[in-house]
Structure 1
Amino acid sequence: MEWKRSAFDWNQARAFLATAEEGSLSAAARALGLTQPTLSRQVASLEETLGVTLFERTSRALLLTQAGTQLLEHFRTMGEAANRISIAATGQSEAVTGHVAIACTNGMATFFLPDILKKLQAVAPDLQIEIIASNEMSDLRRREADIAIRHARPQDENLFARRVRDTTGHLFASSDYLDAVGRPSHPSDFSKMHFVGFEYPERMLGLMASRGLNLTVANFNFSTASVTMSLELMRKGLGIGILPVDIGTAYSELENPYPDFEPIEIESWLVAHRELKTNLRIRLVFDLLAECLSTK
């Protein structure tokens, strides 16, 4: 791929990045405050400059080509760097202050946010950060939160979403519990074991059955909506549960009782109202969360 460096235009890069993140030319044009024909010309000019096709244009949507996918993270890095430059320049005359509310599950709040917030404090020490640790979906349009970390992409076109990290859920139990009841070698062995359920155990039965574990509600002696509580119940030997692999493997007293269990795919999306495009403090927090969560 030959890049004509002298012809590179940052406005074209912004057009590509917005189109990739928004999923359509019309949404990207609204986000950047441009007309759709102008945005389309910028994307086409960038493709000509780079000598590659970035999008496959279908009747319903724009799909990133392999080249577009490969370049997307590079352009995101450029965009975040440009935002940091803007923030640094603004900070010379005006400190970044104010309140930002972040909504996420208590697991995310406990295991991932503290290290990120420490970095944020070093960058913007005068920000007031509120953590809404709940499994309930905060309504960003009603300003119940400024930024949310969710496990599904929002469908509301008024929200801006970026996929930041994927992980998988696996079975975990304490070694003490498995020493006492025996380690399962076949799915049928689970029928007499105790489980720690997440919120409503009956909702887990179909998921478990799809992976060969035919359980009943009677198997779930404990249930909770809290990941941290589930973790502690497992560590105390009260049953088998499902944890994100990066959390479960961090505790030496836990082990995977049945490696043949098909992992559960877990997505994470960073979501904010489109106001983040112009709100300095929200953009700063959003970009730092995106950078840190994408590399974990």
Structure 2
Amino acid sequence: MSKYDTYTCKYATGVYMDKWTEFKTAYKLAKYGTLSATAKDLAIHRSTVMRQIDVLEESLGVKLFQRNDKGYIPTEAGLEVMRLGEITDVQLTQFANKAKNKEDVLEGVIKVTCVNELALLLFPAITKYQSLYPQVKFEIIGDIRKYDLEYGEADLAIRTGEKPTTLDNIVIPFAKIALVLCAHQKYKDMHGLPTKENLNKHKFVANSERLAHIPWNEWIHDHVPQENISLTSSSQQILNYALQTGAGIGVS
């Protein structure tokens, strides 16, 4: 097994969108479905709604709506506008509410996502940070799923393997970790230890999914015949239990 670098990622916004008024209008039209309701909500004329939609579609180079006798039906791109609009609406509302009660202290909740096994690396940094900013709280999302920072699913992500190349993410080296293949004494007593030559005679445990941001799981799927992966689970805790009972060989 190899050593893997661990990186901290956070989302950095870029200046790409300059049609915020038109975007808001498209969001409202996708939400209400009619020009009249949209115009009433925004306190503008129906023709202004149509004009702003035309401007945004031309700018994006994609059709956002299909019109029928019931009103305006959002296309796939239009549905994405509505989803982003809902997220933006919620975040701006939260910001406005916080701004009303603004104090000269750093506070709020920082969402951090990582696989469960990396959480132990976080606590010294969290403890130090909270000693400086006691009003800041942390929410640790322990999950194998790769959360999207750009959609606000998390503020920070601890990821392993190759340095992430996602656009608009700020990537900072965080720690180095070493992982090894291991088996319980119970497994060794029953099956002995594996070699490169006899991997196909041994049982392995691995995550159910192949996920590029969990390289140790990829290593097993790449080097061990699939018929020898005798137990899989979406929970690393369950895989650890399997290792402890001698069910197979895995990474720890």
Larger radius of gyration: 2
Of structures 1 and 2, the one scoring higher in RCO (CA 8 A, sep 6+) is: 2
With the length of structure 2 as denominator, give the TM-score of the two structures: 0.50
